[in-house]
């Protein structure tokens, strides 16, 4: 385990060095990231200009969901997505060979191969938004809710990671998966809204199929002190099931690797 | 030790004709073809051997190397490398082997090779002291100098290949699969890499299985060769014995001091090449002493060289015979 952790930290160090090698890119991407954050807030602010409450959520509470969305997206864009895009490219070019030739878990290696460190700015923005939202609410969260909120942020990220790794594993069969990555990104976009906003079949889809509820709504409800114990446990259980499924899909997919010719 | 018994690797490949109509048709109805990349190949390689693995393009060389290094699951047959079944990817096996691919790179493009080396040290769990010793040895043998601290993208192809070799060997593997390690390199760099591989093999008693399009690499490095064509093994044995068996005649090259007509040359041997006063003859082994004596004594020829036929020619003959055999049997 310590070896795995050492490896992950080393990959992070390499990626920070890589990002630093292109200084202008680093600054440009940091600024872009701030702009896209501001744009992400717009629809929500417009909606709550018109209405006080939407599906039981007032503006400050919806902003907490949004801050979770930003945090999870920052982690997605900073830690997970670059690695998976890199994986698809490696499979296409055959460079994935070098991952399989290493005596460490291939899933761990590819999941941590690339990071884009400037997304740490988004994370700071998400935190600032959460603080602002609680300021609007006029009462700070209880310590136990903060701890549960952080724990569920971890499960939210893990759930999203599971969905992404399962989809990326498909690139062992279908080499060009760029569109699938975009589709996942678009579906994940729905996580900026509390899941209660969606009705009927869509709520089921966004709770169980593409678990945006696990990613943002439930963690936000935990922070707001609104989540019951059963849902919290179900969230953790659902994440564990998703991670297990992703692992099975990954292991099955890796057997189909045909290695692009030299 | 490497052992392959009745190894086969088949691929199901999508096949379609050229043009838009064929492309659209293939979306609706796909035709697949079974490609037998490796078809019942068996061999054994002992520890410390240097073996050349030869065959024309698409013969199945790279596929075999990928199965041996655990990248691909064989369709059938048994494979064992250093006592392990490769596709199970036991960490002990992966720490004992390396695969160098001349057309692929494991170096991190934007950073100096030193960063890839540090990463590999962590991945292979090499103790710091052993890592520094190995890096020092490789830096000396490959004359890396300050290349390891320059960004990879700024290195020339040859420099990158040297750094690539170091990255592949830092963990001290004892089985080396080298797939075209000198491709695209100039002659000086090819020689340097050849010397390095021989030296590494002797220092570490490492087993080397080498594929190369440059026959000089194989002749210089490998006492034994395995030849495959269309997935089937067609020769496994001593390189010199193969040359002798396929074409025992020698190539005698020389420069004439006084001009001689072709008619006179033909009496000594078949003319393979003639450029002014320089000529190359094909001479049978038993006639060789007399022909050389005549050239040096009576004709006073200079720059005389006696060589075996080029390996390319030998292989061409072999592949031709193998194909004729297959056609006759089918």
Q: How far apart are CA B119 and CA B211, in angstroms?
A: 27
Q: What percentage of chain B carries pLDDT values higher than 70?
A: 99
B232 and B276 in a single domain? The answer is no
Q: Do residue B181 and residue B266 come from a single domain?
A: no
Q: Average pLDDT for residues A9-23, to the nearest whole number?
A: 79
Q: Is residue B175 part of a domain?
A: yes
Structural domain total, chain B: 2
- The verdict on B108 touching A (C-beta cutoff 8 Å) is yes
Q: Is residue B320 part of a domain?
A: no
Q: Give B268 to chain A, closest Cα distance, Å.
A: 46
Q: Which residues of A touch B123 (CB under 8 A)?
A: 7, 102-104, 109
- Answer whether residue A37 shows pLDDT above 80: no
Q: Does B316 fall in a domain?
A: no
- Would an 8 Å CB–CB cutoff place A98 in contact with chain B? yes
Decide if B326 is inside a domain. Answer: no
B200 and B253 share one domain: no
Q: Are B109 and B256 contained in the same domain?
A: no
Q: What is the ipTM of this complex?
A: 0.79
Looking at the fold, whether B255 and B239 belong to one and the same domain comes out as: no
B46 and B135 both lie in a single domain: yes
B101-139 per-residue burial string, b: 16 or more CB within 10 A, e: under 16: bbebbbbbebbbbbbbbbbbbbbbebeeeebeebbebbb
Give the range of the structural domain holding residue B45, as residue numbers without chain letter: 2-243
Are B10 and B88 in the same domain? Answer: yes
Minimal Cβ distance to B71: which of A14, A17, A259: A259
In this structure, the answer to whether residues B119 and B206 fall within a common structural domain is yes
pLDDT band for B98, please (50, 70, 90 cuts): very high
Contact B118 A10 (CB under 8 A): yes
B145 and B209 both lie in a single domain? yes
Q: Is B122 on the interface with A (CB under 8 A)?
A: yes
Boundary of a domain, candidates B192, B226, B243: B243
Domain identity same for B82 and B205: yes
Cβ distance of A259 and B115 shorter than 8 Å: no
**B140-153 pLDDT tens trace:** 888 888 889 999 98
Phi-psi region of B45 (alpha: psi -120 to 50; beta: other; left: phi over 0): beta
Contact yes or no for B11 and A10 at CB 8 A:
no
Out of A7, A255, A261, whose CB is closest to B123? A7
Contact flag B73-A255 (C-beta cutoff 8 Å): yes
Classify residue B315: in a domain, yes or no: no
**Count of domains in chain A?**
1
CATH code at position B261? 3.30.70
Q: Can you give the residue range of the structural domain that contains A137?
A: 2-254
A261 part of a folded domain: no
Measured between CA atoms, how close is A194 to chain B, in angstroms?
40
Residues B170 and B268 in one domain: no
Instruction: Report if residue B318 sits inside a domain.
Output: no
Number of Cβ within 10 Å of residue B153's Cβ equals: 13
Asked whether the beta carbons of B124 and B171 are under 8 A apart, the reply is yes
**Residues A202-232: tens digit of each pLDDT:** 877 777 667 778 888 888 999 888 888 888 8
3-state secondary structure of B237: strand
User: Measured between CA atoms, how close is A262 to chain B, in angstroms?
Assistant: 6
pLDDT tens digits along A123-153:
888 899 999 999 998 888 889 999 999 999 8
pLDDT at A175: 59
Look up the pTM and report it. Answer: 0.79
């Amino acid at each position: 385990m310590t070896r795995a952790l050492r490896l992950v930290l080393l990959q992070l160090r390499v990626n920070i060095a890589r990002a630093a090698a292109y200084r202008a890119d680093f600054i440009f991407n940091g600024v872009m990231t701030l702009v896209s954050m501001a744009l992400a807030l717009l629809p929500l602010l417009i909606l709550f200009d018109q209405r006080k409450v939407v599906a039981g959520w007032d503006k400050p509470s919806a902003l907490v969901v949004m801050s979770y969305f930003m945090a999870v997206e920052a982690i997605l864009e900073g830690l997970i997505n670059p690695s998976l895009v890199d994986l698809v490219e490696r499979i296409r070019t055959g460079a994935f060979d070098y991952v399989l030739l290493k005596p460490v878990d291939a899933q761990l290696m590819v999941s941590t191969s690339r990071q884009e460190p400037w997304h740490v700015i988004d994370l700071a923005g998400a935190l600032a938004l959460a603080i602002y939202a609680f300021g609007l609410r006029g009462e700070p969260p209880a310590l136990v809710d903060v701890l549960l909120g952080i724990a569920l942020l971890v499960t939210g990220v893990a759930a999203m990671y599971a969905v992404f790794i399962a989809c990326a594993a498909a690139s062992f069969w279908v080499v060009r998966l760029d569109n699938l990555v975009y589709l996942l990104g678009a579906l994940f976009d729905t996580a900026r809204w509390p899941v209660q906003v969606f009705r009927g079949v869509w709520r089921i889809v966004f709770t169980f199929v593409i678990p945006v509820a696990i990613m943002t709504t439930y963690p936000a409800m935990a922070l707001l002190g609104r989540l019951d114990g059963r849902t919290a446990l179900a969230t953790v259980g659902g994440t564990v099931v998703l991670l297990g499924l992703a692992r099975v899909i990954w292991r099955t997919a890796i057997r189909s690797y045909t290695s692009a010719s030299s | 030790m490497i052992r392959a018994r009745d190894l086969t690797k088949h691929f199901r490949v999508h096949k379609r004709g050229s043009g838009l109509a064929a492309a659209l048709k293939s979306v609706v109805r796909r035709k697949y073809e079974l490609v037998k990349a490796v078809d019942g190949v068996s061999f054994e390689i002992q520890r410390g051997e240097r073996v050349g693995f030869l065959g024309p393009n698409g013969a199945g060389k790279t596929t075999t190397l990928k199965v041996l290094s655990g990248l691909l699951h064989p369709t059938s047959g048994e494979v064992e490398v250093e006592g392990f079944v490769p596709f199970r990817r036991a960490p002990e096996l992966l720490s004992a082997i390396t695969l160098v691919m001349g057309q692929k790179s494991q170096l991190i493009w934007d950073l100096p090779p030193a960063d890839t080396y540090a990463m590999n040290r962590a991945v292979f769990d090499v103790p710091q002291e052993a890592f520094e010793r190995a890096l020092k040895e490789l830096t000396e043998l490959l004359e890396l100098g300050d290349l390891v601290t320059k960004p990879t993208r700024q290195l020339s192809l040859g420099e990158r290949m040297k750094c690539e070799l170091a990255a592949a060997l830092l963990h001290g593997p004892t089985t080396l699969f080298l797939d075209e390690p000198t491709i695209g390199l100039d002659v000086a760099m090819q020689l340097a890499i050849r010397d390095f591989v021989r030296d590494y093999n002797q220092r570490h008693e490492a087993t080397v299985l080498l594929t190369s399009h440059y026959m000089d690499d194989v002749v210089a490095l490998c006492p034994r060769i395995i030849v495959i064509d269309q997935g089937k093994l067609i020769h496994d044995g001593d390189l010199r014995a193969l040359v002798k068996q396929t074409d025992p005649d020698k190539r005698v090259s020389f420069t004439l001091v006084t001009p001689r007509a072709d008619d006179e040359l033909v009496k000594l041997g078949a003319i393979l090449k003639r450029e002014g006063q320089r000529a190359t003859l094909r001479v049978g082994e038993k006639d060789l002493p007399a022909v050389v004596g005549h050239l040096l004594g009576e004709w006073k020829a200079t720059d005389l060289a006696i060589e075996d036929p080029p390996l390319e020619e030998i292989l061409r003959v072999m592949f031709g015979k193998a194909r004729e055999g297959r056609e006759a049997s089918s």
